[in-house]
Structure formats: structure tokens, C-alpha cells
A = this chain, B = another copy of it.
């Protein structure tokens, strides 16, 4: 079986990562790539590490001539641009995996509130399936449009899902999420703030209290737990290219804890028992971004603060892989009935 694939937006870091991962995928043929800025140029000129894919020449973004050769298109475009193009793609007989934020929120009004622009394709919002396989595998199988999760939400939802799977364990209104991301998450467009000299030795917060991934996390965690979830979300920028780590602080409900004497470690291990890509670390180990780098694996730890009873949930992922391109390929495998792990089992690169 060979899946014919197109990639919209191949000149960003996520697009390049899709090319890298799909090149190693045994059942995939990349039939076209597009780029607005680099139309006409081969991949190896845009990204020298992709020199061996100089056979791929970027088409203009709007050139849909090769769509009929594709079974699935990955959209690695900025938000807004994505919702302009995705509906057009969907009119062809193919599946779309969208890596932007445009189809993740169910409610167009919430979208407008956070993204400051009206949604242009609200009719597709109910159709889109949130592409976190660990929670929505069954729905993804039959999706036509997969909304690939944001990197922060992936790390946060994987850290919290076991606790929220059934109600009554933790207080869903006092969750504090302190996340840290490598710089590649900000994309490849040059800005002063992303220059090497501005960031080296320069750990810093940004968007404290109003980052756009907030409603996405609340929606999915709310759905998953069956109750309203409210988070405080503080993202930070780490002086490294790749990697994301979320530290989630939650208060267990006393009642639950006392009655049930919960073994948190066991709760997590059980929840992820059958998941290949989520590894619950043994007590004594803690996640680190360079232990999952360039891989689709997530490392998760649960730590109980014996003095205060609060829990700290930690999850490390590679923001460009499990947080973007790798998870998108995982979704593609599900969509086409392949073993979900196909092409994604390369171990992390360390050091």
C-alpha cells in the first residue's frame, strides 16, 4: 500500500519535519509540496538538511493541479490561511490533516474571541475530529478532516488526561499549567525576538495569561472529564530549538484521596498501558526534553507533594514531532488503517 500525500506549506519548520518523517515512512509517496515564499525552489535549497529531497520542488500555494493524485493533504499553514484553503481541499475526494489552530475549537465564537477574526468555514467545525489518538482514536478512523492538536495542548492533555478521565479526583477549577517551549515553535519568519542573540542565555515568559492554546485545552479537557475545566496557563520560551515540557500543578479533592487511597503512579500506568507513544516514567525518573527529541514519544511523570498533597504532572515532547508533524503522521496511519506506529518508531536523538 502506498499513500499519496501532499503537503501545503513545506517551507516552515513543521512542513520540513513532515518531509523528513514521511520520507522515512515505508508506505508514503509525497506527490507535491507547496510554499508561498519559495515557489519554484527545491526542498534542499530551502532546507539544506533535506538535500536528498531535491526532487520535491515547491509549487505555489494555490496550485491545486496535483490534488487529484493525492489521498491525503497535510496543511502546515498559519491559522486563517488554513481555513481559507482547507474547505477547497475537502471538495476533492481526499482527507485533510490540518496542523493549524483553525479547526480545533468547536465554537466559532470562541475562535473569534481568541483569534480576533471571524471563522471562515464554521460549517466544518463540527465535522473536524481532534487528532489526539490517545483520546480520539476511534473517531479519527472515519474522519475526513483531522484537526491536529497544538503542541502545548498535546503536552498538557497527555499529562492531565488520566486524572480527568473520571470526575471527582481533582479540582478542575484550580489547575495551574506552566509550560516551556523550544524556539522552533515560533516558526521560521524572522523577527527580532527570535534572533539567536536575543534568546541565548535568555529564558523568558511570554503571553502570560492570554495564550491562544488556552481554550483548546479547556475544551478538550472539559469534554474528556465531563465537567467545566478552568486553567491558568503560563507559557515560556526556552533557549533551545526543539522540545516542550509542561508542568501541571493540580489539587486532588480530599474526599477522593482519603476514601480511595489512590496510587497515582498506578493510575497513570494503567491509563497508558496500551499506548506506544506515551511512556509513564518510573518513580525517580523525570522527563527531559532531550530524552524525546526528534521522536514521537511523550515522557510523563506524576509526582505527589507529600507536604501539601498537590500533584505535579510533567510531560515532555518534541514540539515539532508529537507536538505537530509526528502526531499528524500518526493520525494519517489511523486514517488509512495502517499500524499506528508505522514510520514513527525511530528512537529519540540524544545527546
With A201-B201, A208-B312 already in contact, the answer to whether A49 and B303 are too (CB < 8 A) is no
Residues of B within 8 A of A303 (CB): 208-209
A13 within 8 A of B: yes
Residues of B within 8 A of A231 (CB): 308
Report yes or no: A247 in contact with B236, Cβ–Cβ below 8 A: yes
Please name the residue on chain B nearest to A200 by beta carbon: B241
Report yes or no: A180 in contact with B203, Cβ–Cβ below 8 A: yes
Report yes or no: A178 in contact with B249, Cβ–Cβ below 8 A: yes
A87 within 8 A of B: no
Residues of B within 8 A of A234 (CB): 178, 247, 249, 312
- 1/0 per residue, CB under 8 A from B, across A200-217: the answer is 111111101110001000
With A204-B245, A209-B312 already in contact, the answer to whether A347 and B52 are too (CB < 8 A) is yes
With A49-B291, A203-B288 already in contact, the answer to whether A196 and B239 are too (CB < 8 A) is yes
A345 within 8 A of B: yes
Q: Which of A16-24, A117-125, A133-141 contacts B (4 or more CB under 8 A)?
A: A16-24
Q: A163 to nearest B CB, angstroms? A: 16
Report yes or no: B205 in contact with A195, Cβ–Cβ below 8 A: no
Q: A270 to nearest B CB, angstroms? A: 18
A198 within 8 A of B: yes
* Complex partner residue of A351 from B242, B287, B345, B349, CB under 8 angstroms: B242
Residues of B within 8 A of A174 (CB): 174, 251
Within 8 A of B (CB), among A224-274: 230-232, 234, 236, 238-243, 245, 247, 249, 251
A-B pairs with beta carbons under 8 Å apart, 18 shown: A20-B348, A49-B349, A176-B178, A178-B247, A183-B197, A194-B195, A194-B197, A195-B195, A196-B196, A196-B239, A198-B351, A202-B351, A204-B286, A210-B305, A232-B312, A239-B239, A294-B349, A346-B346
Binding site for B on A (CB under 8 A): 13, 16, 19-20, 23-24, 45, 47-53, 174, 176, 178, 180, 182-184, 188, 190-192, 194-206, 208-210, 214, 230-232, 234, 236, 238-243, 245, 247, 249, 251, 279, 281, 285-295, 297, 299, 301, 303-308, 310, 312, 314, 316, 345-351
